[in-house]
């Protein structure tokens, strides 16, 4: 028997928290003074890739550089506890009576695989007359997609709508308010969802805030955490009353030294199965000292090692796929290499679109765009691209780049186009489908200044592009009952069964079916 339990999803909270306090010195909320403003230096520029549409045999590879920082390699999920160093809280409230002072905090998290979120915990405190979140008009939660290091929308309606949001009364059965041990007031919130939130892989931003009047309600704030993961937590005051502008910005402007906000996400991890695989890459399993090889067949006259799909040049690859029935696409794997890279991935971004027909023949984009980085994880695929004239050269390691999706499509034939970015100057290059003895492997297209067939430069034959589509489902624990078949019931003779659960968290549920002999009743002694 199987019964879905809950596994704690320790959410990677990626962000920097800022301390925002109100000094009760006037008729409206005010920011406290004397805080040190911490300014974060922007990342340095990345050198542009070579302006090449193909990498062919004879192109000189770069010298392998020192390993670059790896992008989001399968982020670890965890709970971010309240800071033990800073017990202050920072303004996070929708002020009914002073709307231009309404301010919101957001922190990011990354899920490398699909989640089914069942609960969200946020610790909070209050001042300036705050006594309880039960006085709030509403409690509000929202999850926004990542917009390049900040949420791509905000609670005032700016930007894009959240991927999920919920507003409830404090008395709603899904809400449990508890006393915060630091402030001694009813300001910690546990949301237990009646309908779990399905979240495909990606980087997201969590926002929580009460709708509460300043007069009579006081001020609510959120705690920092001592962890330091991912992007800096963000602060926004859309009405601009605090004088910090009206856009998302690092919350350190409020004076906090910590990076993260405190919160916890619980739910079920999901397992993924292959929905569609567009073609093979490997020609020689373990052919390079344990690594697989995707070998260009120069003996057949082939010459192209990889196709340019550099994001900053706008170069893209496209190929088609067919679904035989309605299917949910939750995750997509693409493949790319940068010549000279070590086995630590240099890939930093993947952008893609799904079309309802060929992009060069009247197709329309039905999902995705070329501005949202959907890369959630990147790793060495254990495959290297080489050629028959230069086998196992160890200078073209192919990386598997996992991207979030979250789209349901009916049966039909679709096209997907994508472009990739990386930290090195060579490529990124897309290795084509490779099959021993075949020079034509598909019908892929390449966009440079216009769409054209992705042809090998030696044989002029069209190539296909490898990618993998996945559908994912929340995992359930396995429950075992021993003995599986109970002996005949006898008067005065107890029954004993052993219950074992693997995965999930209590409580678990199971049932036994059978017929009680006439004249007998159940008398449960223990369970």
**3-class DSSP string for 303-323:** CEEEEECEHHHCCEEEEEEEE
DSSP character string of 259-313: SEE-EEEEEEEEEEEEEEE-----SEEEEETTEEEEEE-GGGT--EEEEE-BGGG
> Would you give the DSSP letter of residue 97?
S
Q: What is the pLDDT of residue 255?
A: 87
CA–CA dist 108, 293 (Å, integer): 37
- Other C-beta atoms within 10 Å of 344: how many? 17
Q: Give all strands of the β-sheet with 412-422 in edge-to-edge order.
A: 365-369, 347-355, 412-422, 316-323, 445-447, 451-453
When pLDDT is cut at 50, 70 and 90, the band that residue 426 belongs to is very high
CA–CA dist 218, 98 (Å, integer): 12
**Helix, strand, or coil here: 135?**
helix
Quick check: 82 and 187 in contact, CB under 8 A? Answer: no
Is the pLDDT score of 340 beyond 90? yes
Is the pLDDT score of 140 beyond 80? yes
Is the pLDDT score of 63 beyond 90? no
Q: What is the pLDDT of residue 311?
A: 95
Instruction: Look up residue 29 and give its two tokens.
Output: 């909320």
Q: What is the pLDDT of residue 109?
A: 92
What would the mean pLDDT of 195-216 be, rounded to a whole number?
90
CA–CA dist 202, 109 (Å, integer): 8
When pLDDT is cut at 50, 70 and 90, the band that residue 301 belongs to is very high
User: Per-residue pLDDT tens for 290-299?
Assistant: 999 999 999 9
CA–CA dist 102, 238 (Å, integer): 7
Q: Which helix (H) or strand (E) holds 386?
A: strand 375-387
For tokens 């925002």, the residue is 20
Residue ranges per structural domain of the chain:
12-22+72-270, 291-473
CA–CA dist 7, 267 (Å, integer): 5
What would the mean pLDDT of 19-24 be, rounded to a whole number?
34
Closest CA to 206 of 377, 12, 348, 22: 12
Is the pLDDT score of 138 beyond 90? yes
Quick check: 382 and 281 in contact, CB under 8 A? Answer: no
Q: What is the pLDDT of residue 150?
A: 95
Give the list of residues 6+ apart from residue 116 with CB closer than 8 angstroms, or none: 196, 197, 198, 199, 267, 268, 269, 270, 474
Q: What is the pLDDT of residue 480?
A: 65
User: Per-residue pLDDT tens for 208-241?
Assistant: 999 999 999 999 999 999 988 789 999 999 999 9
The alpha carbon of 7 is separated from its chain's Cα centroid by a whole number of angstroms, namely: 17
Percent of the chain with pLDDT over 90: 62
When pLDDT is cut at 50, 70 and 90, the band that residue 72 belongs to is very low
Higher pLDDT, 34 or 361: 361
**Helix, strand, or coil here: 195?**
strand
Sign, CA dihedral 147-148-151-157, equals negative
pTM of the model: 0.55
CA–CA dist 455, 59 (Å, integer): 17
When pLDDT is cut at 50, 70 and 90, the band that residue 396 belongs to is very high
Quick check: 19 and 31 in contact, CB under 8 A? Answer: no
Quick check: 378 and 399 in contact, CB under 8 A? Answer: yes
**Per this entry, what is the length of the chain?**
527
CA–CA dist 199, 193 (Å, integer): 14
Q: What is the pLDDT of residue 168?
A: 97
**Helix, strand, or coil here: 144?**
strand
What would the mean pLDDT of 370-382 be, rounded to a whole number?
89
User: Per-residue pLDDT tens for 319-329?
Assistant: 999 999 999 99
Cα separations (Å) of 148 from 9, 377, 503? 24, 16, 35
DSSP character string of 474-494: E---EEEEESSSPPPP-TT--
> Would you give the DSSP letter of residue 69?
P
Quick check: 214 and 101 in contact, CB under 8 A? Answer: yes
CA–CA dist 332, 170 (Å, integer): 39
Average confidence score pLDDT of the chain: 81
Sign, CA dihedral 421-422-427-430, equals negative
User: Per-residue pLDDT tens for 148-190?
Assistant: 899 999 999 999 999 899 999 999 999 999 999 999 999 999 9
Q: What is the pLDDT of residue 48?
A: 27
Q: What is the pLDDT of residue 69?
A: 28
CA–CA dist 15, 107 (Å, integer): 5
**For residue 93, which phi and psi values (nearest 5 degrees)?**
-160, 140
When pLDDT is cut at 50, 70 and 90, the band that residue 56 belongs to is low
What would the mean pLDDT of 414-440 be, rounded to a whole number?
96
For tokens 């609960």, the residue is 119
CA–CA dist 454, 460 (Å, integer): 9
Q: What is the pLDDT of residue 78?
A: 62
């Amino acid at each position: 028997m199987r019964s879905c339990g809950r596994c704690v999803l320790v959410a990677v909270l990626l962000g920097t928290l800022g301390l925002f306090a109100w000094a009760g010195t006037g008729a409206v909320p005010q920011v406290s003074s004397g805080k040190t403003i911490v300014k974060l230096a922007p990342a340095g520029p990345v050198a542009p890739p070579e302006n090449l549409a193909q990498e062919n045999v004879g192109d000189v590879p770069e010298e392998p550089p020192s390993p670059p920082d790896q992008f989001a390699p399968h982020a670890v999920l965890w709970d971010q506890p309240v800071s033990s160093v800073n017990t202050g809280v920072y303004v996070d409230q929708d002020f009914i009576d002073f709307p231009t002072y309404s301010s919101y905090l957001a922190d990011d998290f990354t899920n490398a695989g699909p989640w089914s979120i069942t609960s969200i915990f946020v610790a909070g405190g209050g001042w300036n007359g705050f006594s309880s979140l039960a006085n709030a008009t509403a409690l509000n939660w929202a999850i926004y997609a990542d917009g390049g290091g900040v949420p791509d929308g905000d609670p005032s309606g700016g930007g894009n709508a959240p991927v999920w949001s919920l507003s409830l009364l404090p008395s709603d059965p899904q809400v449990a308010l508890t006393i915060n041990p630091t402030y001694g007031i009813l300001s910690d919130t546990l949301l237990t969802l009646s309908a779990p939130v399905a979240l495909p892989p990606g980087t997201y931003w969590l926002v929580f805030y009460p709708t509460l009047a300043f007069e009579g309600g006081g001020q609510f704030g959120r705690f920092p955490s001592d962890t330091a993961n991912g992007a800096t937590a963000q602060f926004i005051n859309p009405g601009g009353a605090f004088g910090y502008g009206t856009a998302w910005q690092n919350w350190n402007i409020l004076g906090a030294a910590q990076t993260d906000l405190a919160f916890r996400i619980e739910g079920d991890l999901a397992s993924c199965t292959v929905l569609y695989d567009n073609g093979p890459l490997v020609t020689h399993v373990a052919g390079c000292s344990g690594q697989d090889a995707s070998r260009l067949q120069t003996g057949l006259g082939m010459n192209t090692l990889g196709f340019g799909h550099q994001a900053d040049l706008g170069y893209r690859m496209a190929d088609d796929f067919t679904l035989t029935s309605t299917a949910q696409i939750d995750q997509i794997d693409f493949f790319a290499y940068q010549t000279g890279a070590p086995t630590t991935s240099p890939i930093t971004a993947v952008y893609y679109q799904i079309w309802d027909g060929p992009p060069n023949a009247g197709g329309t984009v039905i999902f995705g765009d070329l501005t949202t980085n959907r890369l959630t994880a990147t790793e060495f695929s254990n495959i290297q691209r080489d050629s028959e004239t230069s086998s196992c050269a160890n200078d073209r390691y192919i990386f598997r780049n996992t991207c979030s999706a979250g789209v349901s499509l009916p049966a039909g034939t679709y096209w997907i186009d994508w472009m990739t970015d990386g930290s090195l100057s060579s490529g990124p290059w897309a290795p084509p489908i490779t099959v021993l003895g075949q020079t034509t492997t598909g019908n892929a297209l390449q966009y440079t200044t216009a769409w054209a067939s992705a042809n090998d430069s030696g044989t002029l034959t069209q190539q296909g592009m490898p990618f993998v589509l996945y559908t994912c489902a929340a995992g359930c624990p396995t429950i075992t009952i021993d003995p599986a078949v109970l002996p005949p019931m006898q008067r005065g003779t107890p029954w004993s069964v052993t219950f074992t659960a693997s995965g999930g968290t209590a409580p678990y549920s199971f049932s036994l079916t059978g017929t009680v002999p006439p004249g007998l009743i159940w008398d449960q002694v223990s369970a």
